[in-house]
Amino acid sequence: MKSNLRKLIKIFIKESKNLFIYDSGIKNVSLGSNVKIIKPVNIYGCKIGDNSFIGPFVEIQKNVKIGENTKVQSHSFICELVSVGNNCFIGHSVVFINDLFSNGSTSNGNKENWQKTTIGNNVLIGSNATILPVKIVDNVVIGAGSVVTRDILKSGIYVGNPAIFLRNIDYK
């Protein structure tokens, strides 16, 4: 079975023109102590703090900073210009965006149009949320499936598309 698959792959690669295969994995990453990463991942040029967890099928791009004791669950995408604080939780399939296509097209790598995202400490982001270039203060919960389009400057729970304030966090 494996040899047949290898033969098919070789045939496909021989017959394909302009095929580019990029090796992924973990490259040029500054890792704190006790970091746990579950492969496969595509993590490069970033910094991950002590005691953090990165789940499978996660991409973290260069110049991203992940704080200490932070968990990034599977299938999440963290693009350049994102900073995540300490003691945060990023649910499954969360997407961070740095280009709003404000000129009507992609930036084609022109980072002048990209914007940064800053996530404070103790922020919990539910699965399938989308985070546009914003600032989120400490002690915030973002509900699953929410789309954060504006800065969140007050602690609390935010839900919806666009994400709006639902209520204060009831610490007991």
Indicate the pTM of the whole model. 0.86
Say if 146 falls within a structural domain.
yes
Contact in structure between 114 and 101 (CB atoms under 8 Å): no
Q: Where are the beta strands (DSSP E) in 14-56?
A: 26-27, 30-31, 36-37, 42-44, 47-48, 53-54
Contact in structure between 114 and 99 (CB atoms under 8 Å): yes
131: containing domain: 23-167
Structure confidence by residue, pLDDT tens digits, 24-68: 799 999 999 999 999 999 999 999 999 999 999 999 999 999 999
Structure confidence by residue, pLDDT tens digits, 72-115: 999 999 999 999 999 999 999 999 999 887 777 776 767 888 89
Q: How high is the pLDDT of residue 1? A: 57
Say if 3 falls within a structural domain.
no
Number of domains in the chain: 1
